[in-house]
Amino acid sequence: MTQPLAFIFPGQGSQSVGMGRAVQETSANARLTFQEADDVLGYSITKLCFEGPAERLDDTVTAQPAILTTSIAILEALAERATSIGKRISEGREPRGVAALPAELRPRYVAGHSLGEFSALVAAGVLTFADALRLVAERGRLASTKGAKGAMAATIGLSAEQVDAVLRDATPDGRTVVANDNGPSQVTIAGDADSLATASDALMRAGAKKIIHLRISGPFHFPPMGRIGGEMRQFMDHLVWREPVVPVVANVSGRPHPSAAAIPDALVRHLAQRVEWLRSVRSMAEGGVTTFVEIGSGQVVSGLVKRIVHAKTMAISDPPSIADLVAKLKGAPA
């Protein structure tokens, strides 16, 4: 039986030097997760997460596997704290994901913001951690070498509909678009550098309170990024996709993926289409979720949830926050 919980995972922009170190130091399974990541990638993502430099951690090629690794290490630390199964939930030919958690900790849905959707797929047992890591590494490589060039910025104070209207006038050629519908008054835009600057000025004149340029080295959820979709799909054809043990809410629709077979196509569209985060959160709330638990570095996506629905939010990133979550949900002392 699942609880009225959703596990949500952050995407690119949540990275920070030092992320994951605390769980790696205290959880055997988190250590194994970081070690597996180093082995799969062929370089020390562990050292990059813990020591930086920040400039390299912000690069799409390394940021994507670093964020995935950190989120899954934290999830593994949670599972280790809450169960006595003795091995990781994201490994083996049939990864159990959150189905291995005790009933009081098992979420009703999992979802990830942008890149975070890949962490959600691991949590749902759709992909092993190793396969997801290979996939995001390839996604980052293709985006860096063959993808669109440009930038992304968060617009505060306007809805997606308002931003769309401004962009139609300011950049009618489609060189800047809404990339993430993050909430009633927070929208991320993506485009080439010149067009993004023009759009930002127009949005401020239209009433935006603030424009924040994101620490990301390429524009995702932007139509020209779709040109890497064919090669990404070819890579995904060699992976094993299992039916999710819990529904995974898709960024491109805001609804659960209908089947494992549909996921690769959705992830290709994910490159070029906007992240429907507002719709995703509302969908999970309509499905009975009353508590959203962010698993990863920071509290960005749980902060977005607070602006969308009236629900409890928690964020786990280190041993104390994991202990607090387990205590509150299992009714045991921390």
Please identify which residue in the block is written with the tokens 């050292």. 47
Q: For the whole prediction, is pTM greater than 0.85?
A: yes
Q: What is the dihedral of CA 187, 188, 190, 194, to 10 degrees?
A: 80
Give the mean pLDDT of the chain.
94
SS3 at position 240: coil
Shared fold status for 5-146+225-330 and 151-217: no
Q: Which two tokens stand for residue 3?
A: 């609880």
Residue written as token pair 């508590």: 291
Catalytic-role residue among 16, 114, 200, 321:
114
> Domain 5-146+225-330 sits in which CATH superfamily?
Malonyl-Coenzyme A Acyl Carrier Protein, domain 2 (3.40.366.10)
C-alpha pair distances (Å), 309 with each of 20, 58, 163, 300, 313: 29, 30, 21, 15, 10
Q: Could you tell me if residue 159 is left (phi over 0), alpha (psi between -120 and 50 degrees) or otherwise beta?
A: beta
Crossing angle of the two packed helices 60-82 and 116-123, in degrees rounded to 10: 30
| Distance of alpha carbon 334 from alpha carbon 324, whole angstroms | 6
pLDDT tens for 176-203 read: 999 999 999 999 999 998 999 999 999 9
Hey, CA dihedral for 255, 258, 264, 266, is it positive or negative?
negative
What would the two tokens of residue 218 be? 């390429």
Buried (b) or exposed (e) across 56-88, using 16+ Cβ within 10 A?
ebbbbbbbbbbbbbbbbbbbbbbbbbbeeeeeb
**207 versus 13: which is more confidently predicted?**
207
Is 330's pLDDT higher than 90?
no
Is 221 an annotated catalytic residue? Answer: yes
% of the chain at pLDDT higher than 90: 87
Structural domain boundaries in the chain: 5-146+225-330, 151-217
Tell me the per-residue pLDDT of 105-124, one tens digit each, with 9 for 90 and over: 999 999 999 999 999 999 99
Reported as type and span, the H/E element at residue 255 is none
Choice among 221, 270, 283, 317 that is catalytic = 221
Find tokens 């890497």 and name the residue.
Answer: 228
Q: How far is CA 248 from CA 1, 78, 106, 272, 313, in A?
A: 17, 19, 13, 20, 19
> Band of the pLDDT at 1, cuts 50, 70, 90?
low
What pLDDT, in 10s, does the model give residues 210-221?
999 987 878 999
The beta-strand segments (E) located in the chain are: 5-9, 109-112, 151-156, 176-183, 186-191, 210-213, 248-249, 291-295, 312-316
Judging by beta carbons within 10 Å of its beta carbon (0-12, 13-18, 19+), is residue 333 exposed, middle or buried? Answer: exposed
* Residues 6 or more apart in contact with residue 146 via CB below 8 angstroms: 227, 228, 231
Query: Checking DSSP bridges between strand 151-156 and strand 186-191, what pairing results, if any?
Result: antiparallel
% residues pLDDT > 70 (the chain) = 98
155, 163, 170, 190, 279 from 166: Cα distances, Å: 12, 5, 6, 14, 21
CB 55 within 8 A of CB 127: no
Between helix 116-123 and helix 129-146 the angle, nearest 10°, is 160
Q: State the pLDDT at residue 333.
A: 43
- Cα angle 63-270-134, degrees, rounded to a multiple of 5: 45
- pLDDT the model gives residue 216: 81
Residue 238 annotated in active site: no
pLDDT digits (tens, 9 = 90+) for 34-58: 999 999 999 999 999 999 999 999 9
The CATH architecture annotation of domain 151-217 reads: 2-Layer Sandwich (3.30)
Residue 329's pLDDT is: 87
